[in-house]
Amino acid sequence: MGKIVLYIEDNPDNVLLVQRALESRGYKFVWAPNGSTGLSKVESEKPDLILLDINLPDIDGYEIARRLRASEAMRKIPIVAITANALKGDADKALAAGCDVYISKPINLRELWMQLAALVPSN
């Protein structure tokens, strides 16, 4: 089985797009519809990479990134912020919270592939 990618995202259209794209390339796709579920799935699934929406209904992505970086067991998992927040400073805010990369929506699959290849190279 391929690398495990957890996508924490509340928009089903975005989830479906990313799920199809990742599974077509051999990644194991895991989904969480909100931050609380996402944090639980990080512990249970041990993903190789996390795709993280910033605007979630319960805990925002910045807080999730901070919690993951504060955890000894989870701090090394690469986090890619994927968000519609595209104002000046939003990328810096995501990186400061602990995200490794910032990608704006709508998702550009070419950019997503480039970042995945850099952060979780295949075996």
Give per-residue pLDDT as tens, 88-123.
788 899 999 999 999 988 899 999 999 999 998 764
What whole-number distance in Å separates Cα of residue 112 and Cα of residue 118? 10
Q: What is the pTM of this model?
A: 0.94
3-state secondary structure of 68: helix
Show the tokens assigned to 69: 């970086």
Model confidence pLDDT, tens digit, residues 13-56: 999 999 999 999 999 999 999 999 999 999 999 999 999 999 99
Task: Look at the chain and report how many structural domains it folds into.
Answer: 1
Specify the CATH number for the domain of residue 73.
Answer: 3.40.50.2300
What's the distance, CA 118 to chain centroid?
Answer: 14
Per-residue CA distances from 85 to 5, 47, 73, 94 (Å)? 22, 25, 29, 10
Asked whether residue 59 carries a pLDDT value surpassing 60, the answer given is yes
3-state secondary structure of 10: coil
Q: Is 116 exposed, middle or buried (0-12, 13-18, 19+ CB in 10 A)?
A: buried
Per-residue CA distances from 63 to 16, 18, 96 (Å)? 24, 23, 11
pLDDT at 1: 61
Range of the domain at 21: 4-119
Q: Contact, 109 vs 121, CB < 8 A? A: no
